[in-house]
Amino acid sequence: MSNVARVRSHVLTGAFLFVLAATPTRVEGQGNTPGQTPAPGAGRTAAISGVVIDGATERPVAGALVDVIGDDRDRSGSHRRQLTDATGRFVFANLPGGEIPIRASKSGYLDGARASARRIVVRDGEWVADVRLSLWRPAAIEGTVRDEGGDPVVRAFVRVLTKIHVVGQDRFVAGRMVLTDDRGRYRLAGLAPGQYLVQAPLVHAVVPTAPAVDGRPLAYAPTFFPNVKSLDLAISIDVTSGEERGGIDISLETVPAFRLSGIVNGPPESWSGLTLRLVPQGAESLGRGNEISTALVNDGRFTFLNVPAGLYTIDASREVGGLTSAPPLDLFFSEAPLDVARNFRGTSIRGRDVDAGPPGLEFAVSSMGQPSGYWARQVVLVQQDEADLVMTMRHTGTLRGRIVKELAPRTPEPPYEPSRGMQLDPADGSPELGTPQSEARPGDATDQFTIPGLLPGKYLLRLGRGWIAKSISWRGRDYTDAPFDAAETQDFDDVRVVVTNQGAALSGVVRDERGAPARDGRVVIFPAKPDLWANFGLWPSRIRVLSAGSDGRYTISSLPEGEYRVIAVDGSSEAVQLDPEFFLRVERRATLASLSWGQSRNLDLRLQTDVR
């Protein structure tokens, strides 16, 4: 069982169904016996009841807060909530029929955003009496940081790197960080079950540089457990729900420290106000805060002081992308693999649907000054003082083009022009490439777009919410599903993008082996063409994963035209990984579905219980 899968299943997909034999005693509103019709009340004749359990022990959880989130018929956004009784039970009466989001939380368990959550489909006059919500206790990793003499290191940073599956490959992303106390001890609490690396980064920032030896200063290098200097030599730590892992100690050793200085070769606008980052090799995707040192460029020159010996990357980008693991927000209520929320000079991507992308993943692009249209990166092996380093600034690439609309007459046009929501998606999920976005200024033509800031790498062009690309072409080649390769940070001019406001939709019912609606199904749809199974970016337009409703129903909309494979798996399955290996394994068991623009197709699915 993969540990990444364990994070998904233990923390987020632990909810499944069983039949309660007793009636909850702590209720909100008017109560009834499960199976009976609730008392009518202005169209609110449905009810939901169930139990909250500890996901590891399966014992009932008393005093858990259960939330019915909003109301599709009441746009006020109000919540209805109650505490479970001594046997972990709850009941909500006088609900409107429809899809009801419900979740549970309690102090001492992973917070409410990580609590078990479900979308319950209930009809008018129906009582769904068998909802089971699971909560998971947080894990913790603790230990001591000591120096080369065995003495505790006080106020040293310690953090975890979380292993997570992104765009078909495992990556370690930056996670929780703490400081050691006056005994050199640390405790990384509130961890979801999963696989972690433990690191003492930025040691030189909080520990005085060690005394010089033979005129050469010494410094502490960033160190991973078990006392290794590089990420690829670190040993991962697997924690389960509620587990306390102690003895994860780190011993720091001094290494020679050196001075790096040089010049930035480029026009003044390329380096004015620029801060260079010195990042350990292999950690470029971890974003800001991972630097061993920084240096402000002054009159075209820079200096890094007290740099521990090692292999580094000097980054001269003004925008820094990185992956971090953060508590997911608004779980389960989006069919898209990842949802985008734009922040000031940056983009955050949060996994919103447990089934569709890395839960808790945040991809943030932060600004380090106004963009200049230049960048530079250089690998340097630090073994001695360097005084003549040269960072040659290069132009970032730009993608420009025009938009042609092909609108469906009976479908409302999205409120925003497609030129104002376009961005580039790193095809392999590399966060250091960033997510360049379209520039839109008052008075700009709405049928034209400009996306600056391309770094060397492959990008897929994505549209804003509500728009779907029918075709993307450049110089006679189709780029609808193919990435633009900016290896030389070249410009792409005269890109033609045909967009529509109406895609295809697929819906149906997931059924179990008896033909009854499956209560805990997960639907995966992916392209029939194997060449689209890799490098599909963080926002794949042709790959979707979502949980079916408690009545087995599912709906996937806004799909591009094409041929797909569709499969329904057990919602508690740990085998779903959005990568070529998974797609190949389930290809023959998945149903082939051909969709055309504007088509709405019904497709019932048989639940596949073993897709390992």
Mean pLDDT by groups of 10 residues along the chain of 612 residues: 34 28 36 41 77 91 87 49 94 87 88 64 85 90 94 92 82 86 94 90 56 72 91 91 94 90 95 92 81 91 92 89 56 32 33 37 67 90 93 94 92 87 90 86 80 94 92 96 89 96 95 89 94 91 87 91 95 74 93 96 92 74
43, with CB counted inside 10 A (0-12, 13-18, 19+), is exposed
Q: Report the SS3 class of residue 432.
A: helix
Q: Report the SS3 class of residue 473.
A: strand
531, with CB counted inside 10 A (0-12, 13-18, 19+), is exposed
Q: Collect all residues with Cβ–Cβ distance below 8 Å to 3 and sequence separation of at least 6.
A: 163, 193, 194, 195, 236, 238
Determine the Cα–Cα distance for residues 228 and 199; give it in Å rounded to an integer. 9
**In terms of pTM, does the model score above 0.95?**
no
pLDDT value, residue 478: 97
Confirm if 565 and 526 have CB atoms less than 8 A apart: yes
Count of CB atoms within 10 A of residue 61's CB? 21
446: which 2 tokens? Answer: 């709405």
Q: What sign has the CA pseudo-torsion 44, 45, 48, 49? A: positive
Looking at the DSSP bridge assignments, the partners of residue 128 are: 48
